[in-house]
Amino acid sequence: MAVLVTGGAGYIGSHMVLNLADAGEKVVVLDNLVTGFDWAVDGRATFEAGNAGDIEFVRGLIDKHGITEIVHFAGSIVVPESVTDPLKYYGNNTATSRNLIEAAVRGGVKHFIFSSTAAVYGMTGLAPVIETTPLNPMSPYGRSKLMTEWMLADVAAAHPMTYGVLRYFNVAGADPGQRSGQSTPMATHLIKVACQTALGQREKMDIFGTDYETPDGTCIRDYIHVTDLITAHALLLRHLREGGESTTLNCAYGQGYSVREVVDTVRDVSGVNFRADEGPRRPGDPASITATGEKVRSLLGWVPQHDDLREIVESAYRWERHLMTRNR
């Protein structure tokens, strides 16, 4: 019995690999290394270079390694890019997922966990969302993820496979042991961008929009520490293994922070009053995206251990400093 982690050389996937390996699981990582890094793959895992959308290749991996479960992280994630290059996102996200699911069904995979997104909700207003909030994705990225959710539901109704979907909010931070973190050089995540600016890797950063209907005028997001997010994945896998029904869950703390609050926290942690220019809104940015997180807590018994903005920022900042010392 083995778990296949697609995108396991990337930010969130590499943390999933650490969690599984720490638990003594047999782990196989599938990654094409377009955005991931081979050095980010824990040495206890087996690494296979390839495309998660290659049906016959994945079928071979399932047979070769005895894969019974798949945790699917591979995909493209930059919302503005999805607007200018939608076919890339429908290819990398929707079409790849479709082929991976087919390979899973043909290979007799029992359980499938999918990395989805809060972007499936679209413009939500200021109230926290719940899983039954109407779905109205505003970008090809959000739609590409929602299509995969639909495919999983349809396939699970027709085949003996159960699935779990976790809708992420704003993932940040790094492994407390500093074994992995967000390593993509020009990633667009706010906390990473702010940390890089504090360290002099960027001349400045931008705050997009200061006239939202929020307390300080900037966007509010529900930031979640990557380690807590991965704990939810592990609990979801256990739920499915124990015979639990397929389910879709928001994974969030239920506590939103504004862009200005994040910038101020990074300035405080770093001791650097870096430049943050204020500009107009970006098209498609909701004023606020938060979730209650009640269902994931009640169903899985998920108890966050790192739900503190300063702790999240401190771990992200330490990881950025670590990356500056790497020679590859």
The total of other beta-carbon atoms located within 10 Å of residue 53's CB is 22
Q: For residue 194, what are its two tokens?
A: 């702010």
Query: Percentage helix, strand, coil, to 5, in the chain?
Result: 40, 20, 40
> What would the 3-class secondary structure string for 165-234 be?
EEEECEEECCCCCCCCCCCCCCCCCHHHHHHHHHCCCCCCEEEECCCCCCCCCCCEECEEEHHHHHHHHH
Considering Cα of 296, then 102, then 184, then 78, what sign does the dihedral take?
negative
**Residue 63 exposed, middle or buried by CB count within 10 Å (0-12, 13-18, 19+):** exposed
CB contact at 8 A, 30 and 54: no
Residue 244 DSSP one-character state: P
**327 burial class (0-12, 13-18, 19+ CB within 10 angstroms)?**
exposed
Instruction: Establish whether 212 is a catalytic residue.
Output: no
Assigned token pair, 295: 């269902």
Per annotation, catalytic residue among 11, 141, 257, 317: 141
- Catalytic residue positions? 141
